Amino acid sequence: MNAEWNYLQNRIADCILCKAKFQKIGVDCPPGHLYPSPPQPVKILFVGVAPPERGRQFWTDPNDNLRRGLFDVLDKLRWPCNDLKDFLHHSFFWSTQPSVREKGL
């Protein structure tokens, strides 16, 4: 799984298809790898539908609103997550739906 995951992460990090297709609006591609390797097995996969703010997202920002809110809900459900290590230890994983972000947004 890790070899496949790393291969996919490298392909995503190197992809510039959106930049080529949407030249008129301009696109900012995510910088490199944004996600750690998922736990095996993943018990619950959470999927976000809104693109994160530029440079701030679930995996990189401890003050991310979605992350703080999700950790609060999980704590109330007796799956305490004080940090990402706890989140992954519970075999949870989070990803975002692919999206295109216009430059400057």
Q: Mean pLDDT, the chain, as a whole number?
A: 79
Are β-strands 44-48 and 92-96 bridged in parallel, bridged antiparallel, or unpaired?
parallel
> How sure is the predictor about 44, in pLDDT bands with cuts at 50, 70 and 90?
very high
C-beta of residue 94 within 8 angstroms of C-beta of residue 70 = yes
Q: Which residue has the higher pLDDT, 49 or 71?
A: 71
Indicate if the pLDDT at residue 1 is higher than 60.
no
CB atoms within 10 A of CB 62: 10
φ and ψ at 51, to 5 degrees? -65, 140
- 38 HSE (CA, 13 A, CB side): 16
